[in-house]
Structures are given as structure tokens and as C-alpha cells.
Structure 1
Amino acid sequence: MGIVLGPNRYGKAEVRVVRVTRDGGIHRIKDLNVGIALSGDMDEVHLSGDNAAVLTTDAQKNTVFAFAKKHGVGEIEEFALLLARHFVDSQPTIHHARVEIEEYGWDRVPVEDGPPGERHSFVRSGAETRTCLVHSDGTGGEESVVSGLTDLVVLNSTGSEFHGFIKDEYTTLAETDDRILATAVTARWRHRGLDADWATSYRQARKSLLDAFAGTHSLSLQQTLYAMGRRVLTEDPEVCEVRLVMPNRHHFAVDLSPFGLDNPNEVFFAADRPYGLIEGTVLDDEAPGSNSAWK
């Protein structure tokens, strides 16, 4: 039996960087969690412990901080591409960089008191987190961008049914033509190219997801998932593939009959586990395939 070294990569995980931009008394915040993974001529560091090809993970971390200062932080896709290209372009032993970023949003707190023109108080905005995943072989090489979000919590209090499913000896779930449909959406979408207006694209994709969720009379969460992915593709032709993960956050109507009370779908028990987990991909079947973009 021959034993060989297979695919490998290394990097720095969860580099937390907060960039404050000061415009007089008005401040702006970018709050990021950056993950880096590099690959290339790394055989010897595994086989013999020779570190000559290794850019330290500490240097990778410091690059994030230095670039946040030197270049600022605009859209996370731009910042990720900037970092990925730098690692490949600057080090001959590094051939590929993977950079993944989570962005935590902050909204400015309205201030009635205090000096005019001072705006430096913030509150975390929303539950969802914006994400991106960039792969780069360096400037002029193959590159890909996947944008997305996690924990977009949504709920329809009606307009959802579930019936006609398989019934075997273990089935106890009753059919229903009126139920709560709730989920926490994780969505990622792959771009055809690298010239997108990232901010506009993100806002449009988020809006498309919400519009489709609200506008679909659902016979299953799978049907809603497909409608959401289809809406993103329809509204933004620069997006060619959408992948969605949607847990079914079950809400069960409580039996209030022991207390002499009716419950026409007004009082529910929100069960956090176990839960159904629905996953799916919606794509343009003419778009070039790129499974590596998601990894």
C-alpha cells in the first residue's frame, strides 16, 4: 500500500476585526469575522517539517488588521478579494487562497441630546449575519465569489399547509391546511463574475428571499425554498446558483380543551428541537458549474 499526502490547506480562523471610520463626529462601523485558508507548495511542511514555504498564520492575522487600516473596509466581497489576491500574489509558494467573511451589522442609535453632529452610538442590527466566500488563484487567475446570509428568521402566521404525505405505521402527524411556517434561513448565492455591485446585489437578494417567503402560499417548506431561490435568480441575472438551508421551526397548536377553552390556531407551543431540516439548490442550468466555489 502506498501512502501519500492528499489535498491540504492551512490558515487563520475567526480573525475578529472592527474598523471605525471617523468623519468628524459621525462614525461608521464595519464588524467582521475573517477566515483564511491557503494552499500551494506545502508538501515538505507535512512530510519533513520544513517550514520554508509557510506564511505564518500570525502574519495572515496581521495582514487583515493592516489592510483594514490601509485600504479601509467597504463591501466584504471586495475586502475578501483584496486579501485573497494579496496572499497569492505576494508569496510564490502559495497558489490558492480561500477567504470567508461574516459581517455583523450595526445601526446608529438616534441621539436627541449631545453636541450636534456627533453620531457614535450603535446597536446591533437584526439577527442575520451577512457572509461571503472568495476563492482566488491570484490576480488574473481563476476566482469565484459566493455571497450570502445566515439566521434570517422569518415566520408566516398563516398561508401554509401540509398534507398528502406518506403515512406508515409510525406516522402520527396530522394533516393541516392552516399552520405557522417559520424558519431561520441560511442562503448563499454564486455570482457569474466579479464585477457585481456587491451592496446592491446583497440588498436585492435579501429582498427577493423575503418577498418570495411572504408571497408564496406554501404547501411544503420545500416548495417555499424553491420559490425563494428562483426569485433570487429571476431578480438578479448576475447570480447563477442559490443554495438554501432552512430548518422547519415547528409551532404546534396547544390543546386547551382540558381547560374548557377553544384554540382556533391562536396559541402555539414553539418547539426548538427536534426539527425538520430542508436543504436545496436552485440554479441556472446553463451556468458554468463550479462546485469548488462553495468549499
Structure 2
Amino acid sequence: MPAILGQNQYGKAEVRIVRLDRATPTHRVKDLNVSVALRGDLADTHLTGDNSKVLTTDATKNTVYALAKKHGIDSTEAFGLLLARHFVDDVPQVREARIRLEEYHWDRIPRNASRSRFVGADEIAHSFVRNGTETRTAQITYNAEQGAEVLSGIQDLVVMNSTDSEFWGFYRDEYTTLKETRDRILATQVTARWRHNRDDLADWDRAYADTRRHLLEAFSETYSYALQQTLYQMGARVIEHRPDIDEVRLSLPNKHHFEVDLEPFGMKNGNEVFYAADRPYGLIEGTILRDGAEPRIPVD
């Protein structure tokens, strides 16, 4: 049987771009990692080495920089849509473009933390500090026939409840040694992606901040009997409060905190001293959908 070429794509991965908006004395920073994948009428380069339809990956990289200069970066999703539509609408042989983006957020350094010569300001207009470990993400897929699909997300968002969490009544077999608990630390490092049912939101930054807030509020307000229950409440709250979102995919590693046995030292541990284990860890994952919606976020 002869071999045939299946699904294929190519592009430029992890284009690092920092765009400064200097229009006002208070500068604005957009710090992105952009990966582009293109699909379409590109079989010839695989089958015969004919590169006449290949937009070079170097040109793809340059496009990221050029469009950032020409149009600015209003928001992560808006810039991804701009790039995807450019590649599909302006490059004839490209039928579909997938743009993945990560945004690294920077906070301004407070006035009292700087020796700047500027006086009378609470924040320094041109100095920033990177905010924690969380990263904003987005994936834009644009097809000339099917239109655009926008996945927004967040990763490495570390959260913890020091109480209001229990875990008991679980199935036991001959190898089960875990003790039941009625009061435990619940901590996780949130990776979340959510699928919008529209691509024309007026303010993507506000939509992201609002969704992030709902995830955090659901985590903090849920009295949890299992991390699975917390996962569902987080996704359900987003679906209930954001009509533009049809699907939420969550991955929650259980950052275990085990109570340390202090009896050998003649002390009683009153649920106060814990060993924070980094591995192995339980990994809870799930998708929450709007009623009637079909799951489309890929499972990694």
C-alpha cells in the first residue's frame, strides 16, 4: 500500500515580543509568547520539496512583530484574532491558522519601592515588576469557512484554602492507607481554558479579569468535600455568569499538605504544621459545559 500524507501544519513557535506603548508618560507593557501554526494547500513541499507555496517561518515571525507595531496589542485575544485573520485572508494557500499566546503580566512598582526622581506619584510610570507565577493564555483558530474560535485561559494560578475542606467516605481496598480528614488544607495550581461562543467582545481584558474573578470566588466560597466538587463549582460559576462562554476545561493538581507527626518530640500537632509535598500528586481534570454545547477544547 502506498503512503499518503495526512494532517500537517507548520509555523513559528514561541515568538517572544514585548510591545511598549509610550503614548503617555505612564507606559503600558504587553509581554507575549506567540506560536503560529498554519494549515492549507501545502502538500507539495512534503511530497516533492516544492516550496513555492511556503510562507517561511521567518516571515511568520516578522509578521508578529510588524502587526504589533502597526496595530498595537490591545489585548491578547484581539491580537491573536488579528494574526489569524491575516494569515488566512492574506495568504491564499493558508486555509486555517492557529495562534497560541501566553501573556506575562507586569505590575507597576509602588512609589516607595523606587528611588526615582519623580515626585508625587504613587506608582512609577516606567517601572514594573512581574506579577507572581500565573500566566494568561489564549488560542485563536481561524478558518475561512468556519470563522474564528477563541480559547482564553490561565495557568500556574496557585490558590489555597486553609480550612473548609474535608475528604472522607472514599472507597477502600487492600492498599488504601490514607486517613480520612474533616479539616484539611486544599491547595492547587489552576490551569483553566474556556471557549467563547463569539469573537467580537468589546473588551477582552475585562472578560478575562471577570472570568478569573469567578474562578477565584468559586474556589474560595465552596465548602469542599472533594477537589472534584470544587472543580465543578469553579467551571459552573463561569458558565452561569458569562453568557459568552460555552465550555470550561480545568486541570487541578492537588498540592498535598500532610500534617507532620510531632509525637516523637512530645508535641501535639493541632492541625498547624504541615509537610508540603510536591510529588507525587493527585491530578483532577474535567470539563464543564453550557447545556446543549458540545465539548471542543482538546484534552492534553
Q: Is the contact between residue 133 and residue 294 of structure 1 (CA under 8 Å) also seen in structure 2?
A: no
| Alignment partner of 1:88 is 2:55 | no
Q: Distance in 1 between matches of 2:288 and 2:196?
A: 13
The alpha-carbon deviation at position 110 of structure 1 amounts to 2.1
The alpha-carbon deviation at position 24 of structure 1 amounts to 4.2
**Once superposed, what is the RMSD of the aligned Cα atoms?**
1.6
Q: Which runs of 5 or more residues in structure 2 are unaligned?
A: none
User: Which position in structure 2 is the counterpart of 1:115?
Assistant: 118
**2:255 pairs with one of 231, 249, 256:** 249
User: Which position in structure 2 is the counterpart of 1:142?
Assistant: 147
Q: Give the SS at the match of 1:119.
A: strand
User: Which position in structure 1 is the counterpart of 2:100?
Assistant: 100
Give CA-to-partner distance per residue, 1:238-286, whole Å, 9 cap, x none.
1110000000000000000000011011000000000000000000122
Distance change >3 Å, CA 137–CA 120, structure 1 → 2: same
The alpha-carbon deviation at position 42 of structure 1 amounts to 1.2
Q: Is the contact between residue 17 and residue 32 of structure 2 (CA under 8 Å) also seen in structure 1?
A: yes
Distance change >3 Å, CA 279–CA 294, structure 1 → 2: closer
Q: Is the contact between residue 160 and residue 178 of structure 1 (CA under 8 Å) also seen in structure 2?
A: yes
The alpha-carbon deviation at position 114 of structure 1 amounts to 1.1
Same amino acid, percent of matched pairs: 58
Give CA-to-partner distance per residue, 1:175-194, whole Å, 9 cap, x none.
11111100000011101111
User: Which position in structure 2 is the counterpart of 1:195?
Assistant: 200
The alpha-carbon deviation at position 292 of structure 1 amounts to 6.7
Equivalent residues, number? 293
| Alignment partner of 1:29 is 2:38 | no
Counterpart residue identity of residue 223, structure 1? Q
Distance change >3 Å, CA 293–CA 86, structure 1 → 2: farther
TM-score computed with the length of structure 2 as normaliser: 0.94
Give CA-to-partner distance per residue, 1:19-46, whole Å, 9 cap, x none.
0111343211100000000000111111
The alpha-carbon deviation at position 132 of structure 1 amounts to 0.6
User: Which position in structure 2 is the counterpart of 1:7?
Assistant: 7
**1:166 pairs with one of 166, 171, 176:** 171
The alpha-carbon deviation at position 291 of structure 1 amounts to 2.2
Q: Distance in 2 between matches of 1:255 and 1:175?
A: 16
Q: Distance in 1 between matches of 2:15 and 2:28?
A: 20
TM-score computed with the length of structure 1 as normaliser: 0.95
Written as runs of structure 1 = structure 2, the 5 A alignment for 1:262-277 is 262-277=268-283
